[in-house]
Amino acid sequence: MAVFGPRANLFMTATLVGSFWVGVLLIAAIWVVPLMDYNSQQRFAPDQPVPFSHKHHVSGLGLDCRYCHTSVEQSSNAGMPSTATCMTCHSQIWTNAAMLAPDRTSLAEDKPIRWTRVYGLPDYVYFDHSIHIAKGVGCTECHGAIGDMAITRKAHSLYMSWCLSCHRDPAPHLRPKDQVFNPHWRRTNSTPSPEALLVQYHIKTEALSDCGICHR
């Protein structure tokens, strides 16, 4: 009896070709899928109970972020507007709009609107808005051109590599203190240089990528 049957060569080729493709798939699963927007939900805009538009309210009406996200300067959490905050205006204008019906039932039934989260970090990551605001990192550095978004979408992956890309070299992302909330800020000739801002805010980059900064 021969050890190798007549079809042994075929088996051999099939196995080689098969394991090649398994390898390709594995590499794709491990390296490529995490980089895809589908996985990081980048550019992803979930449906919201009310189609709230930052473009209308921020760029159109000139509202400051803090009118609605009040705690962003003092707290780790930016804070979401209460129904009463919407009603400071919508008790008088656009009072019959169908789009705003969830707002009105929320007020009548005394139940808050539950917005769908766009940005979210896993529980093992520690993040704090207030320090970034205090050190001149503008909202749009992390949340993209939110002043032009009719529906809020995720501008960055929020991967660790993304946080680190700035923590290793924050200087180009800094701006003067009074421009942090401006959704349309551009660097001009009169803006202090990135290095000058780094000194002004007393930022020490040596320790900023230590694991304990974000994993405590």
Partner 1 sequence: MRWRSSTALVIVSMSVAACDNMANQPKLNPYELPFGSQINWPVRPVPHTIARGDPLNPPGPPPVSMALLERGQQRFDIYCSPCHSRLGDGNGMIVQRGFPHPPSYQSDALRNAPNQLFYDVITHGYGVMYSYADRVSPADRWAIVAYIRALQASASASLSDVPAEKRSSLQ
Using CB under 8 A as the binding rule, the residues of this chain from 57 to 116 that contact partner 1 are: 61-64, 66-67, 70, 76-77, 79-80, 82, 84-85, 87-89, 91-93, 110-112
Q: Which is nearer to ligand HEC, 90 or 177 (CB)?
A: 90
Q: Provide the Cα torsion 121, 122, 123, 128; round to 10°.
A: -20
Question: For residues 67 and 44, what is the distance between their CA atoms, to the nearest angstrom?
Answer: 25
Q: Does 184 bind partner 1 (CB under 8 A)?
A: no
Q: x-or-dash pattern for partner 1, window 119-158, by CB under 8 A?
A: ---xxx----------------------------------
Contact 83, 103 (CB under 8 A): yes
**Binding site partner of 110, from partner 1, ligand HEC, none, Cβ cut-off 5-8 A by kind:** partner 1
Structure tokens at 57: 């309210």
Taking CA atoms, 156 is separated from 142, 151, 190, in Å, by 7, 15, 29
How much of the chain is helix, strand and coil, in % rounded to 5? 50, 0, 50
Q: Does 50 bind partner 1 (CB under 8 A)?
A: no
**Binding site partner of 111, from partner 1, ligand HEC, none, Cβ cut-off 5-8 A by kind:** partner 1
**Binding site partner of 164, from partner 1, ligand HEC, none, Cβ cut-off 5-8 A by kind:** ligand HEC
